[in-house]
Structure 1
Amino acid sequence: MKNASFIEATPFSYGAGHIRPNHAMDPGLIYDLTVNDYLDFLCAIGYNKTMMQLFSESPNYKCPKSASLLDFNYPSIAVPELSGSVTVTRRVKNVGSPGTYAVRIHKPLGVSVTVEPNILKFKNIGEEKSFKVTLKAKGLSVTKDYVFGGLIWSDGKHYVRSPIVVSSAAAAAVYT
């Protein structure tokens, strides 16, 4: 796929993908963001208790101590300044018929990627499952700004794609 300048497109050009309306009517799985996901996101970017009261209907909402931007339950997985390894958590909801989804991984250059579990079995509509994605730097080049990959959950009929975008800590140091 090319971008508007006829250069090879990256996830920055197309995000999580183009919507195909017929497929959108039966996606199989979705990344279902809740109000608490958004509140945790605000906590992770530094909103304090006073600011959080402006967004939360519950006066008792408290930011979790472990709020992390990396765990925002969004289809795209972005890891800035990777050095060593990092594990992110995502949650998907079955909105289709029961089925078994297997993951297929397209590793970004210089990054090993593992997904646990690598099979998700759904018995009911509305059932949610979590999975962890571990990314480990394997000599990311400092000359590369970002490297791209992805993972796809599929039951043979549905294809639920998540782009993976990674920059190395060394590359971040060069560009700052």
Structure 2
Amino acid sequence: MAINLFQDCKRAQEDGASVNGRDQVQNWCKLPPGWIKVNIDASCRVDCDFIGASCVVRDENGNFLWARICRVRGRMQAREGEVRSLREALLWIKQWRHTKCIFETDAKLVVDAVHGGRGSSNFYTIVDDCVDIIKHFEEVLVVFARRSANKVAHLLAKATYSMSDPT
């Protein structure tokens, strides 16, 4: 069912993906009952010792449920920041005991790595941790979304730099 859902959403996005070479806003794909969609993003700045991570959670009808922002300590490149944001979202959603989730990120490298790319860098160590966490869910999809579909999560991740509390 998860694969069919993913394929239906992908076809809907491709059908309206561009007009005259310009990206269109990504369409919402209605989820089956009991599923949630989690848009995630990270913001990395070279002048900070942390990255901003965020996630926005919506139900099967697209209604807002929760949002979370946090700082993740450490200097890291964008790809490590994006996969750390996924890890934070997985751990948070796991606490809520939701077992059927779609995690959307605008970092295609992260999606590809979760679906089978392996290596020996710090990035892949975090990917392996994410894959282990995913095993605690009933059904999970990690999918790529254009930045326009992830805009709220992107803005929230950037907002962590204006937070006064570093936690």
Structure that is richer in helix per residue: 2
Larger radius of gyration: 1
- The normalised TM-score by structure 2 is 0.27
- The normalised TM-score by structure 1 is 0.26
